[in-house]
Structure 1
Amino acid sequence: MRVMVMTKGDGADEGKGEPTTEMFEQMRIFNEQLVNAGIMLGGEGLQPSSVGAKVAFSAAGTSIVDGPFTEAKEVIAGYWIWEVSSLAEAVEWAKRCPFDPAYGQSQVLEIRPLFDMADLARSVDEETLARSAELQERPPE
């Protein structure tokens, strides 16, 4: 099972902390453990929302909102994609993640399973699924 693990922090604390050498090393060690266990498929830290944008869709149309997203209670600071045997295994790995109070008083790891094509087979026709699977495997041009 593939899961996305999102690192979330308090929106009010966004941009207040810089990674220290010690914290960067602790996270490198954690990531290395994930890679060595065959768990980590990918992941990155995200720059602050102040350099981002939102594209919002509604019945009234599409709107663009430039960051920062000060109204957000939580902001996503980074993510991993993991391959695990179960949600319980993902939780056990997440509990090992280093915590850095320099980034605020509250940090959360949210774990969400990714859809597989088999999950979608109940509501999407076979031809559409096959074309989508083909796109996932196609190398970039």
Structure 2
Amino acid sequence: MRFMILVKGTQGTEAGTMPEEGLMAAMAAYHEALAKAGVLLDAAGLKPTSAGWRIRYAGGQRTAIDGPFTESKELVAGYTLIQVRSREEAMEWARRFPAPHGEMADGEIEVRQLFELEDFEPGQAVERLRDLGVGQH
């Protein structure tokens, strides 16, 4: 089972404020523990939305929209992707996640399970994705 731990963005992350050394050390220790346990698949912080863009789909058309996305209420500032045996194990790891913006700062993480190819009805499209290595761990 794969789970993504999403770090919610703040005004600081949107301003491009880099984490302090203490927070980086806590994140490094946490991710080292994940790696040692063999459950870490990937992790990264995301640059502010001012460095990104969105593609909006409407009426059969695609429109590129440059950031920043100030109208958004919830943005993602980073993620950690883990593979564990159960939802309970994912919850245990999530509870150990360091306070994402520092111990005394407000913050939030969200944990979401990823779909696996086995969750979909078998078919040619699923097999094509499997052949590409999509959804494989």
Q: TM-score, normalized by length of structure 1?
A: 0.83
Q: 2:130 aligns with which of 124, 127, 133?
A: 133
Distance 1:82 1:3, change over 3 A: same
CA distance in 2, matches of 1:20, 1:64: 34
CA distance in 2, matches of 1:91, 1:33: 15
RMSD after superposition = 2.2
CA distance in 2, matches of 1:120, 1:82: 21
Query: Alpha-carbon deviations, 1:91-127, whole Å to 9, x = none?
Result: 221111111546x954221111111111012xx52x3
Q: CA deviation at 1:128?
A: 2.3
For 2:99, give the aligned amino acid: F
Higher alpha-carbon deviation: 16-25 or 111-120: 16-25
Q: CA deviation at 1:90?
A: 1.2
> How many pairs align?
133
Query: Alpha-carbon deviations, 1:5-27, whole Å to 9, x = none?
Result: 111123x4422632111111111
Mapping of residues 47-62 of structure 1, within 5 Å: 47-59=47-59, 61-62=61-62
Match of 2:18, SS state, is coil
Mapping of residues 1-141 of structure 1, within 5 Å: 1-10=1-10, 12-13=11-12, 14-15=14-15, 17-59=17-59, 61-101=61-101, 105-121=105-121, 124-125=122-123, 127-136=124-133
CA distance in 2, matches of 1:105, 1:64: 34
For 1:28, give the aligned amino acid: A
CA distance in 2, matches of 1:130, 1:101: 41
In structure 2, runs of 5+ residues without a counterpart are none
Q: CA deviation at 1:60?
A: 5.7
Give the share of equivalent positions with the same residue, in percent: 34
Higher alpha-carbon deviation: 59-68 or 71-80: 59-68
CA distance in 1, matches of 2:28, 2:75: 22
CA distance in 2, matches of 1:16, 1:45: 11
